[in-house]
A and B are shown apart, each in its own frame.
Chain A
Amino acid sequence: MEKQVVDGLREVFQSGRSRPLQYRKQQLGALHRLITEHQEDIEQALKQDLNRNTYNTSLFELISIENDIKLAESEMADWAAPRPVKKNLNSALDNVYIKPEPLGVVLIIGTWNYPWAMILQPLVGAIAAGNAAVLKPSELSEHSARLMKELLPLYLDKEMYQVVTGGVPETQELLRQRFDHIFYTGSSMVGKLVMEAAARHLTPVTLELGGKSPCYVDKNCDIAVACRRITWGKFANCGQTCIAPDYILCEPSIQDRIVEEIQKTLLEFYQTDPKSSPDYCRIINTRHFDRVLALMNECTIALGGESDRSQCYIAPTVLKDVLPHFKIMQEEIFGPLLPIVTVNGLSEAIQFINAREKPLALYVFSSDKTVIKRMLAETSSGGVTVNDVLMHYTVDTLPFGGVGNSGMGRYHGKHTFDQLSHHRACLIKSFAMEGLNDARYPPLTAARLRKAKFFMQHRLCSCSGICVWAVIATLLAIGLKDNVP
């Protein structure tokens, strides 16, 4: 079945249907209508999947998708146009440019924590770049998956874009097929399997993975504001965000103050009983609930700690004096537990971070520019937000992606378009100026070699206007001669 889907899409892609920009804009417009006309259905599905409320859904998923669609619609012509590049003397009179072209059929594998954004944002780029696509939403967010499968064919061209639902066997079967690009969002462990499957067909991949995103709070900062921002980013979606601040690093002297400020903020956000707040989500399922709960075992609970398995509810929890060898520091938490690990200053914090895998995001809170500068210069991560969390995700002009264990490739805005395009190098020459070419033909003479080397150089390309005309005049004079001594 999966093979038929892919073969069918490939055939329609090869017919050239998605080449015209008008077609792509139509599809994007239809996708936009899907979201706006079914916003309530999407919100309902997310409530059932994650107990997500409507506000969070809009803020975290729908707004980003809509913005991406509007951006692609208005900028597509620019993105898809040939991009001229610098020439050397040999090509001074030729057309030299990069032509963005679609890749073909791309596979987009989504994930359950932001089931709509993680699939539809890459899809916007795939459509804008002129590809066909297979979408494989996560079966863990089953209501969203079912709704997506039902709605997409009602709006988009089902001969070019299809949703395949199912679990591990269906995904494995899909991965046996040949795609022109695979875009996967999920865990590093499965990321390796995706890359392995892609290797068979030499398929390029984009892997948006995870890791433990550290959050360093310098003693020199507005701790109250820092803690509000961290609390927001950590506990939104019940901590189930790939770029959530995973753990805090700070000096022992400010640990208690941090706990205090977080406590104040939690009260403000979710009131005395987060369980009954309409704004607090749930863990996706009992398997993850058990996993997250077990991470608390060795730790000292500073705040929260309550749970209710029947609702997959875990209270916003802060753990203090966490030691590096605790289980909670060995894997990405992906839940509402915020460990605080104390370090003696910036250098130790940097060492701590660098001893671990490169994370998807890194956060640093400080009013001291040298602290920020050092943190940026001496660590590596997919992306960074300074003095806040998550926000670099919202700027679509910034490339969003991981490095090392946290992933490869990038997207958002134009970056998705570029990631899902082939940048074809084009040199358009005429038959004229054959005299120039003589320099490179055998038999070798010293004069020919000298001339050939001269024309290959680009050192002369940054010359002033008058100089350029002199050069072009010389080229014309030489080029129009038939033979070169």
Chain B
Amino acid sequence: MESQKQVLERLRGAFRSGVTLPVHFRLTQLEAMMSLFEDNETQIIEAMHEDLAKPKFEAVLSEIEIVVNDICYAISNLQSWMQPTYVATNLATKLDDCFVRREPLGVVLIIGAWNYPLHLILLPLIGAIAAGNCAILKPSEISRATEKLLAELIPKYLSQECYAVIRGGAEETKTLLENRFDHIFYTGSQSVARCILLAAAVHLTPVTLELGGKCPCLIYGRLDMKAAAKRLVWAKFFNAGQSCVAPDYVLCTAETRDALLPFIKETLESFYGSDPQQSPDLGRIVTDRHWDRLLELLKKSEGKIVIGGESDKKTKYIAPTVVVDVMESDALMQEEIFGPILPILTIKSLDEAIYFVNEREKPLALYAFSDESQVVNTVLERTCSGGFCSNDGIVHMSLPGLPFGGVGASGMGNYHGRWGFETFSHKRGCMMRSWLLERVNVLRYPPYNESNLSWLRWATTAKKKGWAGCSVM
């Protein structure tokens, strides 16, 4: 079996040969990725089920469809993305061609996560392939079945010269990071992200970090309670709450909470039946360790459980749980929950809610539920987050036109759609100067004099809006 270094050298050799540059190659690889999904839908759903008891519905939407859509999007747009973009010039450079080329970076490393084990590693790969890079995939060892499936399918469908899967745990990842990559794309936790940044600094490798945090959900003002409850419940309990953009906690007034709770109960029942443990549509916690962590949080919490609270260690089951009267100092408020437990904190005013949110790290997503556009706008204007969605949760990340990424502690960089292509490209500014008009260049040469300077100043001034800008020279 090849060592990590050998794999990396092989991929670097392939990149240097220029094989990934032609659009035809990239399209073929993307089409092969599409076939990977089309031919193996059953195995994929099975692997998801084994790893997370992921319901088929969720696996199809959040692991297959979303990736396949992005592949289609890349295939239809790749030719245009690859075109150089010509830019406006000033008078001094009117006869020159100025354009931006998008060029591949080289060999990139994509480190996946276990909660959406296929999506979080293959969606970035689409951008990497589209941009003409070679790539090493390091799937999460926690989602074992998917890791095994990826190790089997990737070499079967994609060029083995250019793309490789490396398996392993923390030790192997640490060793992998000692190597030099041209970009590192990491999805996961803040603590590991710091290690990744430190490793990247040694080689001046740019990184994209898709992290997490506590995504607040502010519910305020006039509301369609029923619709709000449905959307909130769907977004929270999808994948048993194990989504980096799941609404982590709710901020609302006591009145809103009291009005909302019956609808939440009703929605949970319509989604998962009277005994959610029997529903085929609710996921499970990924490992015993994660299950223990969540139960510990619930135990330590000083809030009141008003819905759910049941659990079963053997099946790693936790019922959709809602906890009220949660204070800022509560155990549930000290870390990202990443599970099917929804704390509701009461506030008295919108200002208080906004203040609360702004006292904390910038989240990956922020949600505002309200029928009053004034409320939504106020929250949008006065807070900061990776992404924002009003009156719904999670869905903003399914739009390929929107960049998906964090800010501050929730990450840096972004991807999805064209943004993935841009993330894995170098934007090279190019200027093709004309050989002519060397006499104009005289203005800039020594010996220097004032009148030349005035001409140059005039010629290089930024174009004003609406000015036709004639080429005097």
Contacts and interface: CB of A to CB of B under 8 A. Distances in A.
**Interface bin, chain B:** 35 or more
Given A279-B446, A443-B279, A458-B69, A398 B407 contact: no
A192 interface: yes
A458 B270 CA distance: 30
B285 interface: no
Contacts of B56: 444
Given A279-B448, A408-B204, A427-B388, A384 B429 contact: yes
Interface of B: 16, 18, 21, 55-57, 60-61, 65-66, 69, 72-73, 76, 87-90, 92-93, 96, 98, 100-101, 103, 105-106, 182, 190, 193-194, 197-198, 200-202, 204, 206, 209, 211, 223-224, 226-228, 230-231, 234, 270-273, 279-282, 358, 371, 376, 380-382, 384-392, 395-404, 407-409, 411-414, 426-435, 438, 441, 444-450, 452-453, 456-457, 460-462, 464-465
B34 to A, nearest CB: 13
A453 B60 contact: yes
B428 A188 contact: no
Interface in A58-108: 58-59, 63, 67-68, 70-71, 74-75, 85-88, 90-91, 96, 98-99, 101, 103-104
A199 B194 contact: yes
Interface in A359-408: 367, 372, 376-378, 380-388, 391-392, 394-400, 403-405, 407-408
A55 B230 contact: no
A91 B399 contact: yes
Interface in A184-224: 188, 191-193, 195-196, 198-200, 202, 204, 207, 209, 222
A59 B190 contact: no
Interface residues of A, number: 112
A403 B408 CA distance: 23
A376 B102 CA distance: 11
Given A70-B462, A269-B445, A410-B427, A88 B399 contact: yes
9 contacts: A86-B399, A99-B388, A229-B441, A269-B447, A367-B435, A383-B428, A385-B431, A387-B434, A442-B282
Listed from nearest, the 8 A-B pairs whose CB atoms lie closest are A85-B401, A55-B448, A398-B429, A199-B197, A442-B281, A397-B87, A195-B201, A86-B401
B433 A404 contact: no
Contact of B396 (A71, A271, A280, A425): A425
Given A270-B446, A408-B204, A423 B414 contact: yes
Contact of B69 (A222, A405, A456): A456
Contacts of B388: 99, 424-427
A58 B93 contact: no
A423 B402 CA distance: 9
A228 interface: yes
Contacts of B358: 14
A412 to B, nearest CB: 8
Contacts of A300: none
B90 to A, nearest CB: 7
A53 interface: yes
A228 B446 contact: no
A180 interface: yes
Contacts of B411: 202
Contacts of B101: 376
Given A90-B398, A280-B446, 17 more contacts: A55-B448, A55-B453, A59-B444, A74-B464, A96-B401, A196-B198, A198-B201, A380-B426, A392-B429, A397-B88, A426-B380, A427-B395, A431-B223, A442-B279, A444-B57, A444-B281, A456-B398
Contacts of A259: none
Contact of A431 (B73, B371, B401, B427): B371
A426 B396 contact: yes
A209 B333 CA distance: 42
A41 interface: no
Nearest to A395: B98
Contact of B402 (A278, A380, A427, A434): A427
A17 interface: no
A391 B431 contact: yes
A428 interface: yes
Nearest to B237: A442
Nearest to A74: B465
